Amino acid sequence: MPRVEANGIELEMDERGEGPPLVLIMGIGAQMTLWPEGLLDALADRGLRVIRFDNRDIGLSTWFDHHPPPPVGPAVARALLGRPARAPYSLWDMADDTAGLLDALDLPHAHIFGVSMGGMVAQCLAIRHPDRLRSLISMMSTTGQRRVSLGRPTALAALFGKRPRTRDEVIDTFLTFSRVVSGSAYPPDEVEVRKRAGELFDRAHHPAGFARHMAAILATGDRTAGLRGVSTPSLVLHGDEDPLVPLAGGKATAAAIPGSTFSVLPGLGHHLPEGVWPEVADRVAAHVRATDPG
C-alpha cells in the first residue's frame, strides 16, 4: 500500500477500480482495512475508483504520540456539561488531511463517503473545502449537536470502555462491541469478527489514536450552522437500529444540508455487514451517477 504526503503528515492509502473517484473516510480509531473488501469490490464493480486511507493517528498513517492521549471519560463529561474540549487537533484538521490527499493524487475534487466519525470529517470538508467535493455521502453520522448525537448507554459503554492491550483483549472487545451495535437484520458473524479484529491488531494497534480522535470530535462541536451553507449534492444514509449514533443524528444531518437526500436502511445498526453491501453500493453508485453523469 502506498504512502502519500498530505497536510504535513503521511497517509497510508490504496485504491481499486476505474471511474469517478470516491474517497472513503473511516470512523473513530478505525483503520482503513475496516472497510469490508466485499463492499470495496462492489463499489469498484459499479464503475468507481475507490480510494481509502488511514486517518491521521491510526493504522499506518502518522501518529501523534508527541501529544499525550486525553482521558476519554473526563473529556466526554466536559462536553456534556457544555465546557470546551481540549484536543491536539480537530475534525477540521482531519478534513484538511483529506484535501491534502486529493492534492497528492492530483485530484481537483472527488466524491467523498464517510462513515461515523468519517462522516463528520466529510461534513467538515464540505463546509471548509466545498470546491473539493463532487458529492457528499454521510453514513451513520451526525451533526455534532448533542441532543441528536448521544447513543444508548450500552453502546457508549462498549465504545468507551477500557482500551484493550493484548491481541486476545482486542478480539474480545471487538466482538462485544459488534454484538452491541449490530442491528437485528444483520447479526454479527462472530468467526469473521474475531478474524478481522486479530488482523487489525496485527497491522497496527494504537489505542492512543482513538482517544485523540474522540477529543477531536468533542473539540469540533456542532456543525449544523455550517452544514446549512453546504451546496454539495449530498446523500445521508442511516440504519434505523443504530444504537451508537441514533437515527436522529442522520435526520438532523439531512435536515441541515439543503436539498440532501435521506435514505434509511431498515434493520441496520452501526456497522457494515455483508448483507447490506449491495444496497449501500447501489445507493452510493446511483448518487455518484446522478451528480457526475460525465
- Distance (Å, rounded) from C-alpha 274 to C-alpha 294? 30
Task: Specify the CATH number for the domain of residue 49.
Answer: 3.40.50.1820
Concatenate the DSSP letters of all residues of 206-252 into one string.
-HHHHHHHHHHHHHH---HHHHTT--S-EEEEEETT-SSS-HHHHHH
Average pLDDT, integer, range 229-249: 98
pTM, full prediction? 0.96
Residue 1 has pLDDT above 70, yes or no: no
Residue 132 placed within a domain: yes
Label residue 85 by pLDDT band (50, 70, 90).
Answer: confident
Instruction: Classify 78 as helix, strand or coil.
Output: helix
Does some domain include residue 189?
A: no
Number of domains in the chain: 1
Residue 233 lies in a domain: yes
For residue 205, pLDDT beyond 90? yes
The verdict on residue 192 lying in a domain is no
Please give the torsion angle defined by the CA atoms of residues 250, 200, 58 and 113, in that order, rounded to the nearest 10 degrees: -30
- Residue 97: half-sphere exposure toward Cβ, Cα within 13 Å: 25
- Phi, psi (degrees; rounded to nearest 5) at 25: -120, 120
Report the pLDDT value the prediction gives residue 80, as an integer from 0 to 100: 67
Q: How many helices (H) and strands (E) does the chain have?
A: 12, 8
Place of cell 467538515: 124
Section 48-74 average pLDDT: 93
Distance CA 188, CA 147 (A): 29
Q: Judge whether 228 lies within some domain.
A: yes
For the residues 135-146, what does the mean pLDDT come to? 97
Domain assignment present for residue 175? The answer is no
Predicted pLDDT at 292 = 80
Q: What is the pLDDT of residues 153-185, one digit of tens each?
A: 999 999 988 888 999 999 999 999 999 999 999
Asked whether residue 188 is assigned to any structural domain, the reply reads: no
Instruction: For Cα atoms 28, 117, 206, give the angle at the middle one, nearest 5 degrees.
Output: 15
Upper half-sphere CA count for residue 111 (Cβ side, 13 Å): 26
Residues 250-272 have a mean pLDDT of 98
Give residue 53's domain range: 3-150+208-291
Mean pLDDT in residue range 212-227: 95
Spatial separation of the C-alpha atoms in residues 159 and 180, rounded to whole Å? 10
User: Backbone dihedral region of 238: left (phi > 0), alpha (psi from -120 to 50 degrees) or beta?
Assistant: beta
Q: Kindly report the average pLDDT of the chain as a whole number.
A: 95
Q: Which of 284, 248, 271 is nearest to 36 (CA)?
A: 271
- Determine, yes or no, domain membership for 177: no
